[in-house]
Amino acid sequence: MQKRLVIPLAIVFLSLISIAIATLIITYNVTVTPTVVKSPIIFENGTDGVSTINNVNQTQASINPKIFPSVQWFSPDALHIHNVNGTQVKIKLHALSVADPNGVIQSFNITLIIGANEYLAIQLGPNGTIIQGESAYFTMNINEIDSIKLVTLGKDGIIAGTTATINLGVEATNV
């Protein structure tokens, strides 16, 4: 008789343990509701005619610099960065990636122009080697527009039509 009760009692006991464990599990609900807002900064074309804005929201851009063998190429106003946030923002330029598979770059400098001042932000050496990969933080006032200046210098003997690609990131955060 006692042996017959062992299995049912064991099942009941295990069930009680399961219920006890289940009661220990607490689920916290955190609601995350992403809200679409305007980007704090946007890109605008510079006056040199070498840039293209790629999307309606003006958050992606392409720049098509030239690179000449043994000659410096300048674009003093390649692209604009415009603070449309309604408050001050801090920006920082990053070289997110550099690809120079044909080794055409002797040097490639990206400079941020704020008013009359120029600040070297990104500096690449031979074959796209990153010498300086990011800038300091710069504060942009409301509605301020800053320019990006490019200076390229190609290595001697490079072949026309070959390319190098630099992906530039502009970080924007609150002050």
Partner 1 sequence: MNFRKSIHLGRFSIPAVVLLAILVTSVAAAAYVVLSATMTATVVTNPKVSFFSWPSTKLNTFAYSVNIFPSIKTVDENLTYGIWNWDTGVHQTGLRVSSITNQVANIASFLVKVSNATTVWSLTTVSSSYTVVSLAPGKYTIWLEITGTSGASGTSVFTMDMQVYNP
**C-beta of 64 vs 87, nearer to partner 1:** 64
Residue 143 vs residues 78, 84, 106: alpha-carbon distances, Å: 19, 5, 36
Q: Is 64 in the site for partner 1 (CB under 8 A)?
A: yes
Sign of CA dihedral 81, 85, 88, 92: negative
Which residues, at least 6 apart from 61, have a Cβ–Cβ distance to it below 8 Å?
43, 51, 52, 53, 54, 79
CB of 167 to partner 1, least distance (A): 5
CA gap 108, 119 in Å, rounded: 14
Residue from 46, 77, 104, 147 binding partner 1 (CB under 8 A): 104
Q: Is 167 in the site for partner 1 (CB under 8 A)?
A: yes
CB of 32 to partner 1, least distance (A): 11
Q: Which residues bind partner 1 (CB under 8 A)?
A: 39-43, 51, 59-71, 73, 79, 94, 96, 102, 104-105, 108, 148, 150, 152, 154, 158-174
